[in-house]
Structure 1
Amino acid sequence: MPASLTSAVLVTVVAALLGRYAFFGVLSWLLVGFLLLGRRAER
């Protein structure tokens, strides 16, 4: 299976299992991403 397809399937399964918590999961990942970008920008 292509990596992109596998990732899409995993994301769909996780979203289905977590349900309403999936939204907060996305927000947490975005927050982590912004923090990492901020640290890279400082360096």
Structure 2
Amino acid sequence: MPDLALIADPRSWVAFITLALLEIVLGIDNIIFLSILVQRLPARLQH
């Protein structure tokens, strides 16, 4: 059975929100990086 004290602990929520924000920021960063790489490809390879 999960420890319900972890759910009530504000530090757990801060850690979860921090990790979620990092995932979002790094996901956007990856999209930007890939779009830059694709722009550098020859036109015939940019499907």
TM-score by structure 1 length?
0.54
* Structure with greater helix percent: 1
Pairs aligned (count)? 28
Runs of 4+ with deviation above 4 angstroms: none
Give ranges in structure 1 of 5+ residues lacking alignment. 1-15
The structure with more radius of gyration: 2
TM-score by structure 2 length?
0.50
* Identity in percent: 7
CA RMSD of aligned residues (A): 1.8
> Which fold has the larger relative contact order, with Cα–Cα distance below 8 Å and residues 6 or more apart in sequence?
1
